[in-house]
Amino acid sequence: MIVGSIKEELELEKRVSLTPETAKNIIGLGLKVCIEKNYAEHLGINDNEYKDIGVEVKATSNEVTNSSNLIIKVNCPSENQINSLKENTILIGMLNPSKNKGQIDKIINKNIKIFSLELLPRITRAQSMDVLSSQSNLAGYRAVVDCVAEFEKAVPMMMTAAGTVPAAKVLVIGAGVAGLQAVATAKRLGAIVSATDVRAASKEQVESLGGKFLTVEQTEDLETVGGYAKETSADYKKKQAEMMKEALKKNDVVICTALIPGKPAPRILTEDLVKLMKPGSIIYDLAAEQGGNSAFSQPGKINTVNGIKVIGVKNLMNRLPLTASSLYAKNLFSFIRNLYSKEKKDFNINLEDEIIEKSLIKEI
């Protein structure tokens, strides 16, 4: 059985699905591996690093897809790539089924089994495969780094002979994986950090990292069984806006990370709320590509409003492609290891396995 991987569209995606380390691990399962020529050259990884551990390098992506039983990718295949996929193979990636319905319908019509790793259940056994957590963790870290680069003041408190420089104040909206990493990173850099989230369980996590948790009084349960945030009521949004009014006046940097699975990002910062911040402040919207948590945010752009920089994020993992690829490839290896049966020497699509059943796209 052969596992293959083809190049992504580099202008959109710099991550790869296979590193030499994970290729070696896949071969260790008893599988063969092949890649397209110059597969990870843009990351400084030469084809010879793959060849040295037994990976076959094909001249074109068509040769890879024609010879592979299982294809691993980062993003949903393009139209040309879909046409080259052969029937009865398996495709694994972060395929964003709600956004790419047309492409996925075409793939399903070719009798190809599709696994989208964003659909993995949040259970202990799936943690090593959890691409949302591995990539969000990096996003939270990078958000703080980018904010520090744009912020035109020092972040930690500094006591000098010329006087004391006060510590920057950072507010994180959304205390999921990305938000908690943002709290931890900002705290390590010496900022005074606070965070808010609709899930009451986040309070303990934020405080364990040294942040202050800002609470909105609520009676409703805003956490799904899977641990994700639910959409809030109009009453909650009103209370949240009141709390934000005071918080925004005090903070120098706001990092927005709030997302609801399968839905547009909740709009938390209205135009009026944004304008409450001081000139020189920063809003960094990690949710910009899903509609944005903040007014004035646009993917890939920095908009200045009353002296406030509103940064809309686009393709953030392209700024950390080596680390992001390493973690993503390990997630993929864990998924393949669970899918492959050494005894049968075949991929076992066992629908009684919750991991396989939940991540398999049956229809759109």
To the query of whether residue 328 is one of the catalytic residues in this protein, the response is no
Give the ranges where 15-154 is alpha helix by DSSP (H). 20-28, 47-51, 61-67, 79-84, 101-108, 131-150
To the query of whether residue 130 is one of the catalytic residues in this protein, the response is yes
Which amino acid, one-letter code, is at 224?
A: T
How far is the C-alpha of 156 from the C-alpha of 165, rounded, in Å? 8
Q: Round to the nearest angstrom and report the end-to-end CA distance of the chain.
A: 28
Residue 239 DSSP SS3: helix
Catalytic member of 67, 122, 319, 337:
122
The tokens of 17 are what? Answer: 């699905």
How far is the C-alpha of 303 from the C-alpha of 283, rounded, in Å? 10
How far is the C-alpha of 130 from the C-alpha of 134, rounded, in Å? 6
Rg (CA), the chain: 22
Catalytic member of 98, 127, 208, 341:
127
Q: How many CA atoms lie within 13 A of 122 on its CB side?
A: 9
To the query of whether residue 127 is one of the catalytic residues in this protein, the response is yes
Residue 86, φ and ψ in degrees, nearest 5: -95, 160
Relative to beta strand 158-160, strand 163-165 is: antiparallel
Catalytic member of 128, 188, 218, 228:
228
To the query of whether residue 142 is one of the catalytic residues in this protein, the response is no
How far is the C-alpha of 212 from the C-alpha of 322, rounded, in Å? 33
Relative to beta strand 308-312, strand 302-305 is: antiparallel
> Is the Cβ–Cβ distance between 84 and 65 less than 8 Å?
yes
How far is the C-alpha of 195 from the C-alpha of 278, rounded, in Å? 19
Catalytic member of 17, 133, 134, 334:
133
**Given CA atoms 75, 52, 320, 206 in this order, what sign does their dihedral have?**
positive
Catalytic member of 5, 130, 205, 328:
130
- Residues marked as catalytic: 122, 127, 130, 133, 228
